[in-house]
Amino acid sequence: LLVSMNEFLPQAKAGKYAVGQFNMNNLEFAQAITEAATELKSPIIFGVSEGALKYMGIEYTVALAEASAKKSGLPIALHLDHGSSFEVAMKCIRAGFSSVMFDGSHYSFEENIRLTKEIVKVAHAMGVSVEGELGTIGGTEDDISHDEASAQLAKPEEALRFYEETKVDALAIAVGTAHGVYKGEVKIHNDIIEKVAAAIPVSIVLHGGSGVPDELIAQAIAAGASKINVNTENQVAGTAAIREVLAKDSKVYDPRKYLTPARNAMIDVVKSKIQLFGSAGKA
Ligand code: G3H
Ligand code: ZN
């Protein structure tokens, strides 16, 4: 059974650790994330972007997440990542998602509140958790891209009103991380995390968790982040493993020969993140 993020995020916030959202892009991702979480007894969130949803198909997506929950017995949330509309959120909820994000960061503050609120109203009636977003996270994920200039840090003074009006269950705030492979040095504005975490009772979400030095992640958790999203690092590790196999053997044709090492590489990534986030043993 898939669960809402409210089954584990309040404990994470109170206990000053973070639960990982690992994006799921295919069967091997689902297996790798589940395997790592099972070994370390951690709650986990499967993040599914609209691009991944299109790639896998909604029926396969839900079935993979349900199979993972059934096999592991862990609290697993299936969460729409960066949902762009009420319609997509409703489609996911109807199909069996236990959590959705509405990314209203490209709307005005008032419009973001209005749209997020509409989704929360329906989602909460169905026992589904909702993540909102303040500020604009830089970088690229799927076909959503924001350059450095358009990336906007979250304004801490907006957080309380956003929370009170929308009643979201988690709030993503732009604090300097970016989606995708980093080009420059990462600077996380922990002061913003601290202010927002103190202002509202729900979990603060750090997007763009890939490629951030462990020390900075630890500091962000200490500042109050209790959900951290990772996608790119799994993609990079899995693809590197496949490349290695193909480079060594030009005759290989059985996908299991290169997908097994890819899956193993992702298990290692997820395990190290779970350890770093402090959610091991919390399931
Ligand atoms: O929403 C998903 C995450 O924010 C992905 O971040 O590209 O750094 O893995 P990442
Ligand atoms: Zn993100």
Number of domains within the chain: 1
CA quadruple 149, 134, 189, 185: dihedral positive or negative?
negative
What local confidence, expressed as pLDDT, does residue 240 receive?
98
Instruction: Give the residue, by CA position, lying nearest to ligand 1 atom 10.
Output: 208
- State the distance from the centre of ligand 1 to the C-alpha of 251, rounded, in angstroms: 34
Is the Cβ atom of 25 under 6 angstroms away from ligand 1?
Answer: no
Given the CA of residue 101, which atom of ligand 1 is nearest to it?
1
Express each pLDDT in 58-99 by its tens digit. Answer: 999 999 999 999 999 999 999 999 999 999 999 999 999 999
Nearby residues for ligand 2 (ion, Cβ within 5 Å): 207
Q: What whole-number distance in Å separates Cα of residue 163 and Cα of residue 51?
A: 28
% of the chain beyond a pLDDT of 70: 97
**17-43 tens-digit pLDDT:** 999 999 999 999 999 999 999 999 999
Mean pLDDT of the chain, nearest integer: 96
Rounded to the nearest angstrom, the gap between the alpha carbon of residue 4 and the centroid of all alpha carbons in its chain is: 14
Q: Which amino acid is at 102?
A: F
Q: Is 47 in the pocket of ligand 1 (CB under 6 A)?
A: yes
Q: Do you know the residue count of the chain?
A: 283
CATH value at residue 76: 3.20.20.70
139 pLDDT tier (thresholds 50, 70, 90): confident
Does the CB atom of residue 235 touch ligand 1 within 6 A? no
Residue 282 within a domain: no
Residue 133 included in any domain: yes
Q: How far is the CA of 101 from the centre of ligand 2 (A)?
A: 10
Q: What is the pLDDT of residues 248-261, one digit of tens each?
A: 999 999 999 999 99
Position 185 in a domain: yes
Least confident of 52-61, 85-94, 136-145: 136-145
